[in-house]
Amino acid sequence: MKATGIVRRIDDLGRVVIPKEIRRTMRIREGDPLEIFTDRDGEVIFKKYSPIGELGEFASQYAETLYKTSGYPACITDRDTIIAISGAAKKDFQEKRLSEDMERVLEEKTAFIYRRENDKNLTVTDGSKLSVGVAVPIIAEGDTVGSVVLLKDSADKKMSEAEEKISKAAALFLAKQMEL
């Protein structure tokens, strides 16, 4: 843990302001859940809470099923990182930060489907050799909590309606799991 040199006071309602620079660097947005930890030394630690991250092993199995069903590498993400991947090297994707393009897809709460050669190529993470074929936000209780993504290895592969429907069904299913 590293010190930032920033000191804040707690107000009369017990609130503390997290500085804008830290929020931007850590990609903390208004309304994001934070988990609070304490230790015996008096430290209080705020950690971004990932509800989809709680499904860790289940998300891995689900990504594996999506890969076997679709034939495309599949990943499950939260709003910031890849939680589970199947069909591609885990070391290249697991726990990597999402690209700005993927963040935009999540913010807009709309699916992205690569259908034509002139569609924009999106990457799921910066520097990835694979691009996004289908990306469907997982929306639970009105909030985007992550996404289901099928990856493709070349620009000429177009996604069919089948891949779109599989991804949308997976996102709906995971959203229901979040609401339980």
In the chain, where the domains are located: 1-49, 52-179
User: What are the structure tokens assigned to 76, written together?
Assistant: 């499950």
* Residue 108: predicted pLDDT: 94
Q: Tell me: domain 52-179, CATH 3.40.50.150, correct? A: no
CB of 111 closer than 8 Å to CB of 134: yes
* Residue 48: predicted pLDDT: 84
pLDDT tens by residue, the chain, 180 residues:
677 788 889 999 999 999 999 888 888 888 888 889 998 888 888 888 888 877 888 999 999 999 999 999 999 999 999 999 999 999 999 889 999 999 999 999 999 999 876 677 889 999 888 999 999 999 998 889 999 999 998 666 788 999 999 999 999 999 998 877
Q: How would CATH label the architecture of 1-49?
A: Ribbon (2.10)
Phi, psi angles (nearest 5°) of residue 130: -90, 145
Beta-carbon contacts of 108 under 8 Å, excluding residues fewer than 6 positions away, are: none
Beta-carbon contacts of 93 under 8 Å, excluding residues fewer than 6 positions away, are: 75, 82, 85, 124, 125, 128
How many Cα atoms occupy the beta-carbon half-sphere of 161 within 13 Å?
A: 0
